[in-house]
């Protein structure tokens, strides 16, 4: 019996070693523009490292380059995971500089911003195909989730067989509808939160540790 | 006036006639797309869309091709010239998800009618699992 127990322990240690990587997991934060990706990335980074990832703004495409915050260790319920957070530009199939003119921007600045935004989206798609180990997909729960970008991106993530956590953000707003997101992607669990107000972050961290550890 | 074409078999849709009068619609069969590489498919779509045409794919693209389509579209956006694409497919029903065995055996189907058009000419009015309603305007 002792021999069998010892053998079983040895096998467990070997298999644990096979599946436990010392390398941090690169977790991409994806979603449409203005879903609150950078606000979430900053919330996670500040909670666990004290630093922020990048500036937040209500103007679409504030994040125009994928930004990485390395070595964020999250502990919950005895599980520990070290992740590199990759905050990506909001994915879209169209960028029109005239959209930025509505935010009191000069044409030259709007054109430059749109050019940077297109480069950023292309970069985000490349990261998704090549360089991430898991995805946190952030949706604005006040908006209709049945958009083509969401349908395509979830399809792309599923085809890559990446673990994905769907977050219904902005639950602090009155128009928030979490069930609508849950109905749109019934094959995945939906976690509600407000990254801005820090609501339900405990559950978010629990799920990050569970999904990506 | 709308004009619909389905190509003439040489790999690219025929030259347009009278396109100034309306919106041209290219309906591309699954058989036409079958022999093309991912980049050839993307080129075929974007060349049509950049001319102001609506492209309808009988069988759609794979997720990987969709990802590349977004990436290539982004590199081609140019102020006052091309602002990107509008693309619509039916949302995937989870009940139709292929199992692991089907995926391993390569039986995963990507068949889904797909409509692609210039972002400034096509506007989605309604979309659910069974109906896509879009408004198409001239340039």
**Is B56 an 8 Å CB contact of chain A?**
no
CB contact under 8 A, A118 and B77: yes
Q: What's the pTM?
A: 0.82
Instruction: Give the confidence band of A99 by pLDDT, cuts at 50, 70, 90.
Output: confident
Q: Is B74 on the interface with A (CB under 8 A)?
A: yes
- The sign of the CA dihedral B4, B7, B12, B16 is negative
Closest CA to B121 of B55, B62, B44, B67: B55
Integer Cα distance of B45 and B105 in angstroms: 29
Q: Which residue of B lies nearest to A110 if distances are taken between CA atoms?
A: B79
Distance from CA of B1 to the nearest CA of A (A): 26
How confident is the model over A157-208, as pLDDT tens digits? 999 999 999 999 999 999 999 999 999 999 999 999 999 999 999 999 999 9
- Name the residue with higher pLDDT: A28 or A66: A28
What is the pLDDT averaged over residues B86-97?
66
| CA of A119 vs chain B CAs: smallest distance (Å) | 7
Is B71 in contact with A158 (Cβ distance < 8 A)?
A: no
Tell me which of B85, B91, B133 to substitute to probe the interface with A (most A C-beta atoms closer than 10 Å): B91
More confident residue, B25 or B92: B25
Residues B26-35, mean pLDDT to the nearest whole number? 93
Does residue A32 have a pLDDT over 90? yes
Yes or no, beta carbons of B77 and A114 under 8 Å apart: yes
Q: For tokens 């699954």, what's the residue? A: B30
Query: Confidence class of residue B8 from pLDDT cuts 50, 70 and 90?
Result: very low
Is B89's CB within 8 Å of A122's CB? Answer: no
pLDDT digits (tens, 9 = 90+) for B45-78: 999 999 999 999 999 999 999 999 999 999 999 9
- CA nearest A147: which of A57, A31, A28, A34? A31
- Which of B63, B68, B89 lies at the smallest CB-CB distance from A148? B89
pLDDT at B95 over 50: no
DSSP state of A33: T
CA distance to partner chain B, nearest, from residue A89 (Å) = 12
* Domain boundaries defined on chain A: 24-212
CATH of A24-212, one of 3.20.20.100, 3.40.50.2300, 3.40.630.30, 3.40.50.300: 3.40.50.300
Is it the case that residue A36 has pLDDT exceeding 50?
A: yes
Which of B79, B85, B127 shows the shortest C-beta gap to A114? Answer: B79
| Percent of chain B whose pLDDT exceeds 70 | 71
Asked if A151 and B92 come within 8 Å (Cβ–Cβ), the reply is yes
Q: Does B128 touch chain A (CB under 8 A)?
A: yes
Range B37-48 average pLDDT? 96
Q: What is the per-residue DSSP string for chain B?
A: --EEE---SSSSPPPPSSGGGS-EEEEE-HHHHHTS-HHHHHHHHHHHHHTT-EEEESS---HHHHHHHHHHHHHH-BTTTB-BEEEEEPPPPGGGPPPHHHHHTT-------EEEEETTTEEEEEE-SS-EEEEE---
| Nearest-CB residue to A94 (from B62, B79, B83) | B83
In the prediction, which pLDDT does B100 show? 54
The confidence score (pLDDT) of residue A58 equals 79
pLDDT at B134: 86
Average pLDDT over chain B, rounded to an integer: 80
| Interface contact flag, B66 A114, Cβ < 8 Å | no
Q: How far is B112 from chain A (nearest CA, A)?
A: 12
Between A4 and B72, the more confident residue is B72
DSSP assignment, residue A94?
Answer: B
pLDDT band at A77 (very low <50, low <70, confident <90, very high): confident
CA distance B124 to chain A (A): 10
**Chain A, chain B: beta-carbon pairs less than 8 Å apart:** 84
| pLDDT for position B10 | 53
């Amino acid at each position: 019996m002792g021999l069998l127990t010892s053998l079983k322990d040895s096998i467990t240690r070997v298999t644990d070693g096979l599946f436990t990587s010392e390398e941090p997991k690169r977790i991409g934060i994806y979603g449409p523009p203005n879903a609150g990706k950078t606000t979430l990335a900053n919330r996670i980074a500040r909670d666990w490292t004290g630093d922020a990832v990048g500036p937040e703004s209500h103007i679409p495409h504030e994040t125009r380059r994928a930004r990485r915050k390395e070595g964020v260790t999250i502990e919950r319920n005895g599980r520990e995971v070290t992740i590199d957070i990759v905050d990506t530009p909001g994915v879209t199939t169209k960028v029109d500089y005239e959209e930025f003119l509505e935010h009191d921007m000069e044409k030259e600045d709007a054109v430059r911003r749109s050019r940077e935004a297109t480069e950023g989206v292309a970069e985000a798609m490349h990261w998704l195909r090549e360089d991430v180990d898991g995805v946190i997909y952030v949706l604005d729960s006040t908006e209709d989730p049945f958009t083509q970008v969401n349908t395509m991106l979830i399809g792309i993530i599923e085809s890559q067989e990446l673990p994905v956590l769907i977050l219904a953000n902005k639950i602090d707003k009155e128009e928030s509808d979490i069930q609508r997101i849950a109905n749109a992607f019934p094959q995945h669990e939906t976690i509600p939160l407000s990254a801005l107000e820090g609501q339900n972050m405990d559950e978010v961290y629990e799920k990050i540790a569970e999904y990506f550890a | 006036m709308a004009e619909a074409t389905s190509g003439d078999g040489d790999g690219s849709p025929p030259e347009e006639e009278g396109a100034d009068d309306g919106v041209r619609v290219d309906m591309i069969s699954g058989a036409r797309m079958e022999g093309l590489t991912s980049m050839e498919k993307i080129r075929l779509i974007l060349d049509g869309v950049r001319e102001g045409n609506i492209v309808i794919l009988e069988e759609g693209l794979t997720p990987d091709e969709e990802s590349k389509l977004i990436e290539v579209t982004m590199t081609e956006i140019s102020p006052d010239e091309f602002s990107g694409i509008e693309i619509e497919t039916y949302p995937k029903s989870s009940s139709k998800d292929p199992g692991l065995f089907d995926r391993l055996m390569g039986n995963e189907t990507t068949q889904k009618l797909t409509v692609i058009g210039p972002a400034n000419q096509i506007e989605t009015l309604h979309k659910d699992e069974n109906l896509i309603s879009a408004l198409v305007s001239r340039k």
